[in-house]
C-alpha cells in the first residue's frame, strides 16, 4: 500500500461531556497532544494528532504522525474509521460477514481501571470516541461517545485520596473492549 495520507477534520457530535476539555458552554474542546488512530480506507491504521492551530477549538484538523508497524497487508474498506484515544494495540476488521463493507469491528480497546484526576477537566483518554465516514473520500470525522460517563464534583476543604466505583451486579467497568 502506498504511504499517502490525507488531512482529516474531526468534531464531536452534540454537546456531549466527552474528551479532555469542556468550556463554560459545555462545548468539547480538543487538547494539545490529542491523538487518534485512523484506519484510512484500510485496516492499515495510522497515528494522527490534533494540529497546533486546532488546540482549544471545537473542531480539529489532524495531521499524520506515523503508521503502525504490525498490521501486515490489511484489507481495503469503503469508509474511514477513527478512534480516540490513540492506542497502538487497536485493530480494525470486518464486523459483519453478511455485509463486510458496512460494518467494522474495533478490538483491543483498553478501558483503564484507574483514571487520574485533572483539575477543571477530564483525564487524558478518559472517554473513548469513534467515527466512521460516509466513504473513503470523506475526510470529515464526526466522533460519537462510545460509553457513558460519571462526573463527580466535590466541594469543600477536605482531601480525597481515591474514589472507587463498582457496578451494581459486579459488571466490568474497566478492561478490554470492542466496538462494532
Q: How many CB atoms lie within 10 A of CB 160?
A: 9
Please give the pLDDT value at position 147.
Answer: 75
pLDDT 10s digits, 22-78: 556 656 678 888 899 999 988 888 999 999 998 888 888 999 998 766 555 667 888
Task: Tell which wins on pLDDT, 14 or 147.
Answer: 147
DSSP state of 165: -
Mean pLDDT value of segment 145-161 = 77
The answer on pLDDT for 1 being more than 50 is no
Spatial separation of the C-alpha atoms in residues 109 and 73, rounded to whole Å: 21
pLDDT value at 113 more than 90: no
pTM over 0.85: no
Per the structure block, which three cell numbers stand in for 139? 475526510
Which one, of 56, 44, 52, lies nearest residue 4 by Cα? 44
Percent above pLDDT 70 for the chain: 73
Neighbour count for residue 136 (Cβ, 10 Å): 15
Q: Which of 9, 180, 16 is nearest to 99 (CA)?
A: 180
The reported pLDDT for the residue numbered 96 is 74
Q: In this structure, are residues 162 and 117 in contact, taking their beta carbons and an 8 Å threshold? A: no
- Are 147 and 112 in contact by the 8 Å Cβ rule? The answer is no
The neighbour count for residue 61, using CB atoms within 10 Å, is 18
β-pair partners for 40: 80
- Residue of 174 and 134 predicted with greater confidence: 134
Amino acid at each position: 500500500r502506498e504511504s499517502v495520507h490525507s488531512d482529516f477534520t474531526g468534531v464531536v457530535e452534540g454537546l456531549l461531556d466527552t474528551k479532555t476539555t469542556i468550556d463554560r458552554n459545555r462545548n468539547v474542546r480538543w487538547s494539545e497532544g490529542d491523538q487518534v488512530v485512523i484506519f484510512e480506507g484500510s485496516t492499515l491504521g495510522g497515528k494522527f494528532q490534533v494540529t497546533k492551530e486546532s488546540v482549544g477549538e471545537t473542531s480539529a484538523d489532524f495531521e499524520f504522525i506515523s503508521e503502525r508497524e504490525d498490521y501486515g497487508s490489511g484489507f481495503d474498506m469503503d469508509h474511514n474509521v477513527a478512534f480516540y484515544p490513540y492506542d497502538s494495540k487497536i485493530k480494525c476488521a470486518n464486523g459483519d460477514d453478511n455485509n463486510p463493507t458496512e460494518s467494522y469491528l474495533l478490538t483491543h480497546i483498553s478501558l483503564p481501571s484507574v483514571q487520574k484526576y485533572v483539575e477543571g477537566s477530564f483525564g487524558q483518554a478518559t472517554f473513548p470516541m469513534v467515527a466512521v465516514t460516509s466513504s473513503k473520500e470523506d475526510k470529515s470525522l464526526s466522533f460519537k461517545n462510545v460509553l457513558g460517563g460519571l462526573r463527580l464534583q466535590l466541594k469543600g476543604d477536605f482531601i480525597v485520596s481515591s474514589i472507587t466505583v463498582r457496578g451494581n451486579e459486579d459488571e466490568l467497568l474497566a478492561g478490554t473492549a470492542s466496538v462494532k
